[in-house]
Chains A and B, each alone.
Chain A
């Protein structure tokens, strides 16, 4: 257990519905990344926060995706109008100040039917 928690662990939704995932990083870590991982692939970068500021977004992050990190603590990732291609594991990672080691949470597995 890295100390990074994610909720829910598994979400099944119908195409067209909105879903929201939550990540609670290790409390003293000020940087947070979201990644998406599909079967047989390594995680791919989605977006990055330093404290409450969203500093970088991947081209993978379409307009249907939005992420927030209010007050620089927990973060949420929302997907609107889900599509079957959104089915994946969504991972968040937190990073301690002065380091580049990323500690991952257990992930949220999304299944869009």
Chain B
């Protein structure tokens, strides 16, 4: 079993839809949870950063962490064509390398 599992998609939604992206993990030592957005042939861009369980909101983006279930989510409200990208979850226990999911490819259709 991989440390971090992420459905690679692809996921295709109409403009304005609510998008839900998810990762599960097996290592209970993970304490810091990040979501990155990566456009084709570019470096990952940090979108959200959360510590431990709970919710964090930033504009149209909400990150949710449930440590008891080892499950993290990213919600995108009012999705736009410019949101079309690959979304990567990344986890760390602190001063350790990030462990990434495979990424979910999202297409938002106008």
Contact B42 A42 (CB under 8 A): no
B59 at the interface (CB under 8 A from A): no
Contact B43 A42 (CB under 8 A): no
Interface size band for A: 20 to 34
Interface pairs (15), CB distance under 8 Å: A2-B45, A2-B46, A6-B43, A42-B102, A43-B98, A45-B98, A48-B97, A100-B32, A100-B92, A101-B34, A102-B34, A105-B43, A106-B43, A107-B41, A109-B41
Contact B46 A102 (CB under 8 A): yes
Residues of A within 8 A of B44 (CB): 43, 91, 104
B interface residues with partner A (beta carbon < 8 Å)? 4, 6, 8, 32, 34, 36, 41-46, 49, 88, 90, 92, 94-95, 97-103
Least Cβ distance of A1 to chain B in Å?
10
Least Cβ distance of A46 to chain B in Å?
9
**CB nearest neighbor in B for A42:** B100
From known contacts A91-B44, A107-B42, A109-B41, infer whether A100 and B94 are also in contact, taking CB-CB under 8 Å: yes
